[in-house]
Amino acid sequence: MRSRLAVILVADVVGYTRLMAEDEARAIAAVTSLRDSHLEPRVETHGGEVLKRLGDGWILAFGSVTAAVKCARDVQEALAADPSLTLRIGGHLGEIVEDESDFYGAGVNLAQRLQNEAPPGGIMVSQDLVRQMTGDLAHGFEDAGSFELKNIPFPVQAYQWRPAPANRKQAPDSVPKIAIGQIDCAPDTADAQAAAQDLHDQIVLLVSRRTGVQVVDEKADPDYLVRGRLRLAGTRGRLTLSLLVGAEERTAFSRNYEGDTSDPFAFCDEIAGLAASDLRMQTSRLDADRAAQMPLEQMSVSELRARAVGHIYQASVEGFMDARNVIERALELSPRDPVSLAMRAGATQWLQAAGYADVSDEEWEAFAEDVAIALDGAPNSDFVLHTMSVIKIVHDRDAAAAKHFAERSLAISPKYMLGQMSLAWAHLLGGEMEAGIEVLKRVAEQLENDPFQVKILFQLAAAQYCHGDYAQALETIDRVITVKPRNPPYHRFRALCFEAMGDEAGAARAREAARNARSDQMEHCVLPPLPGPFAELQAKIGPSRQSRMSQVRGQVIDLPPREAV
């Protein structure tokens, strides 16, 4: 066995499987031309070597950081003018171990994982490699954030490079930077200062756990700045938090969080969790606008996921359709990307539940396998765990297993909205109506001024109705209709509440309102999974499936062919 330190580059052709399916001979000729005319001659010129050819990819090694980086950039800049083929390149500085038949090393594995995260036409490298770059060599490499990569036991800080744009929109230069400012306090006592510092430190910790953002100092020119003020009086505490955007520090979000300070540790845990959950939703929504600045074909997997999140936060049928199409692009780039696999299953489930997609039992089996693969690749992702909980509810109707995965999601992020929702669904499916109702109440209260609050309130109304709390269900659905007065299913549900209370006149008025309501968007009304005789409640309040499916003519609604992962 021989070992050596080297710069390892892994290059891969984007969309090779699709190119082969469209025209096999043309795809092979294009890859051969790329190899003979662009890639391998430049590798030789820069003193590198081809360790292995992988059909549509290469593993390369260089003894010099400068030579490796210049070679990678030369290749990508040359290919930028040729739209026929696109490469992604990942790079790392690590050890290669060789024998007579093959080569090994964690560095090769890491470079391969980074290649999966690189944008089409770009380069993604490890922090270890960036630290060896000096002067102009590092120009254009921007912080892409921290990545949890499969079979890599630690988070990897990565840096991304793209060729200079030519008459096209430019992507965001880096992952969004968020600064958590020190929290002011009043009165200015030792106890108040300690509580403010504890809140600050916990919010930093919780936000730092996320991929897709970078927590920085206020002086580092952040994209988002969080400012807070803690007020204590007696046994009550109030944290006022504001999210400021850009150099002009425009206020994009502000909220008060209140609680009992008798147990200061419990108070800080509760408030910090709520604040971090809100910051997660708000920065995801805002950063989707940044991700929307460039065409899909130029975006990396993480950027595509950010774009999809933006569509999902529209909380509409159209948004979920757009999100699913964006995620298909992400899975073309990285078929085993855990979060993308989970997002595709989750978006499809919402579309099916709303009545705008037909999913066969065989397709659900495939989605369940996708989420199992996702969980294997990202066992500590709160979103993936939530999605597995939903699969156990929708596909397996297994309330106990669903509850287990929801609780695991919440163990990672205690105030995570989706984790709480799947926990509520597990309770409802298992017949634990009161427990499910209490969770939905907490989530609805947490989602102040959030587009998903209406969705959660509708689920809460349905759970209250099924539990026999007709007056409470009516009060909750009235809150929904105040926000969304033009959605016929909400009025039909209101009629059911009046009927259950014996108020035929009220039911008649509600049915008339449903007939007269005309939504300017496709109706997105998803009920939670309900036990026994209530399982068909969705069919009673929504239009027919034929009517819903007729609304989506001209849009992509059929599930695309699935590649084996």
CATH code at position 198? 3.40.50.10610
Both 72 and 202 in one domain: the answer is: no
Does the CA dihedral 421-427-431-437 come out positive or negative? negative
Note whether 213 and 266 are same-domain residues.
yes
The encoded tokens of residue 561 equal 């062919």
Q: At which of 237, 262, 278 does a domain end?
A: 278
> Is residue 464 one of the residues assigned to a domain?
no
> Strand, helix or coil at 260?
strand
Helix then strand then coil, % of the chain, to nearest 5 = 55, 15, 30
Write out the chain's pLDDT in tens, 565 residues.
788 899 999 999 988 888 888 888 888 888 888 889 889 999 999 999 999 888 889 999 999 999 999 999 999 998 887 767 889 999 999 988 887 777 777 889 999 999 999 999 999 999 999 999 988 888 889 888 788 888 888 888 899 998 876 544 444 555 678 899 999 999 999 999 999 999 999 999 888 877 667 788 887 788 899 999 999 999 999 999 999 987 778 898 898 999 999 999 999 999 998 898 888 878 877 776 666 667 788 888 988 888 888 888 877 888 889 999 999 999 988 898 999 999 999 999 988 888 888 888 899 999 999 999 999 988 989 999 999 999 999 889 999 999 999 999 999 888 899 999 999 999 999 999 999 999 999 999 988 777 789 999 999 999 999 999 999 999 999 999 999 898 888 999 999 999 999 999 999 999 999 988 876 556 678 888 887 777 778 777 865 454 454 454 444 444 444 444 4
| Structural tokens at position 395 | 């596909």
Q: Report if residue 431 sits inside a domain.
A: no
Q: How is residue 47 written in tokens?
A: 């003193």
Q: Could you tell me the two tokens for 81?
A: 């003018």
Boundary residue ending a domain (225, 243, 278): 278
Q: Give the C-alpha separation, 328 to 523, whole Å.
A: 24
* One-character DSSP codes across 124-138: EEEHHHHTT--GGGG
Q: Is there a single domain that holds both residue 48 and residue 101? A: yes
Question: Cα dist. 367→133, 310, 347, 359, 363 in Å?
Answer: 43, 22, 11, 10, 6
Q: Are residues 126 and 152 in the same domain?
A: yes
Tokens of 204: 């930093």
Rg (the chain; Cα; Å): 26
Residue 542 lies in a domain: no
The Cα-based distances of 150 to 78, 122, 331 in angstroms read 31, 21, 16
Count of the separate structural domains present in the chain:
2
- 115 with 202, same domain: the answer is no
Element spanning 246, H or E? none
Question: What is d(CA 437, CA 471) in angstroms, rounded to the nearest whole number?
Answer: 14
User: Is residue 241 in a domain?
Assistant: yes
Domain ends where: 244, 278, 312? 278
Residues 156 and 7 in one domain: yes
Residue 86 lies inside a defined structural domain of this protein: yes
Is residue 76 located within the same domain as residue 117?
Answer: yes
- Assess whether 137 and 106 both reside in one domain: yes
Task: For residues 136 and 14, state if they share a domain.
Answer: yes
Q: Is 502 among the domain residues?
A: no
Q: What angle do CA 52, 13, 301 make, to 5 degrees?
A: 115
What is the four-CA torsion angle of 194, 200, 203, 207, rounded to 10 degrees? -150
> Quick check: 141 and 119 in contact, CB under 8 A?
no
Q: Do 107 and 189 sit in the same domain of this protein?
A: no
**Cβ atoms 61, 96 nearer than 8 A:** yes
Q: Are residues 146 and 186 in the same domain?
A: no
DSSP-assigned beta bridge partners for residue 214: 177
Residues in Cβ contact with 454 at an 8 Å cutoff, skipping those fewer than 6 apart: 315, 480, 483, 484
Element (H, E) at 170: none
The per-residue DSSP string of 174-212 comes to: SSPEEEEEEEEEES--HHHHHHHHHHHHHHHHHHHTSSS
Q: What CATH number is given to the structural domain containing 25?
A: 3.30.70.1230
Provide the residue range defining the domain that includes 203. 177-278
Say if residue 146 is in the same domain as residue 27: yes
Residue 381 lies in a domain: no
- Could you tell me if residue 310 is inside a domain? no
